[in-house]
A and B are shown apart, each in its own frame.
Chain A
């Protein structure tokens, strides 16, 4: 299994699928997150390995005044 964390949420997906497929399974829009594995940014086509821990960073921010 592969563990993904996004804000306070945790997801588990099977190994062997790509980051992009994992995001689709978690119903996350790939344009709104960045995937980080062991401190490094990875692209959506990267295949996830058994035991990987992926941190998903939300990239959308800003209130009315983009504060």
Chain B
């Protein structure tokens, strides 16, 4: 198969777009598509300061690479979760980010080490809470959202961007549709505006790329990303949904694209408007000042209070309090 633009051997064939491209033309196309998504959804401008949440994986490093190339003021944040699980997952992820930085003196990285800042790693904190007893993902997600927002606010960033791709978005959409979670459906968007109560704007410039495409970009660009998965992602529902969608894609190319873009169109036409009206008002947490729906103190502060009160009891399972 030949590149549609120059007839060199193609590096990738995108059946859903009927487009095959060589490495050079692929990089060009990928960056132009990102630029289009950013301007179409008014995610951010070149005058604004962008905070890229990087994990060391293909999507977030590819995103940082593209934004730097397009001339955006993009700094990155790495949250060290302290995940080891025998494969030194967090340490190795950071090593990949440092390698990425080596060739890019203009790039700025900020690292937040959760154990240092909060007093325990994510797996340890999870063991000490009801929220995280079976799996640390819920605690992890809460902490990541909180820290990203705080770093954005304290650092004067206009927007937080993440490397979510179309497969991620389609899997979430699929899950929310299976359970008809209308509130979640109404809030799933390529860009979420900042709230007056202090939530930073959030954007996903890669929301239209298949996961295979972000991986191909990283590969063609020679980005040495963290290939291994977080050990706790094994068996995740999102992975099961991705597998189903990819099976449909195999039988009928462009299924994922149509599913997700059809949703975005319906959303833009107002199909989900008013559905999150029941969302409670946000107020500032008395302890950390970040927006919370919980009334007095936010879920993040309450969780760490519980963790720090129970520390020293590590190794013991958390008690099931108020479980009935």
Which residues from chain A sit less than 8 Å from chain B, CB to CB?
29-34, 36, 40-46, 57, 59-67
* Nearest CB of chain B from residue A42's CB, rounded to whole Å: 8
Which residues from chain B sit less than 8 Å from chain A, CB to CB?
1, 9-13, 20, 23, 55, 57-59, 81, 135, 137-138, 140-141, 144, 162-164, 167-168, 210-212, 214-216, 219-220, 227, 229-230, 232-233, 236-239, 242-243, 246-247, 249-250
Q: Which residue of B lies closest to A66 (CB)?
A: B168
Evaluate contact between A60 and B211: CB separation under 8 angstroms: yes
Evaluate contact between B246 and A60: CB separation under 8 angstroms: yes
Contacts of B212 in A (CB 8 A): 31-34, 59
- Sample 6 A-B pairs with CB under 8 A, ordered by A number: A29-B250, A31-B249, A32-B246, A34-B212, A59-B214, A66-B164
Q: Which residue of A lies closest to B16 (CB)?
A: A31
Residue of A34, A44, A57, A63 with highest tally of chain B CB at under 10 A: A63
* Nearest CB of chain B from residue A53's CB, rounded to whole Å: 16
Contacts of A40 in B (CB 8 A): 11, 23
What 10 A-B pairs have minimum CB-CB distances, sorted nearest first? A63-B233, A65-B141, A64-B137, A41-B11, A59-B215, A63-B236, A43-B13, A43-B1, A59-B212, A31-B246
Evaluate contact between A59 and B211: CB separation under 8 angstroms: yes
Evaluate contact between A41 and B23: CB separation under 8 angstroms: yes
- In terms of DSSP, what is the predominant structure of the interface of chain A? loop
Evaluate contact between B246 and A62: CB separation under 8 angstroms: no
Evaluate contact between B220 and A41: CB separation under 8 angstroms: yes
A25 to B209 Cα, complex, angstroms:
27
Contacts of B1 in A (CB 8 A): 43, 45-46
Identify 18 new A-B residue pairs, CB closer than 8 A, beyond the known A32-B246, A63-B137: A29-B246, A29-B247, A29-B250, A41-B12, A43-B1, A43-B9, A43-B12, A57-B219, A57-B227, A59-B212, A60-B211, A60-B239, A61-B57, A61-B229, A62-B238, A63-B239, A64-B233, A67-B144
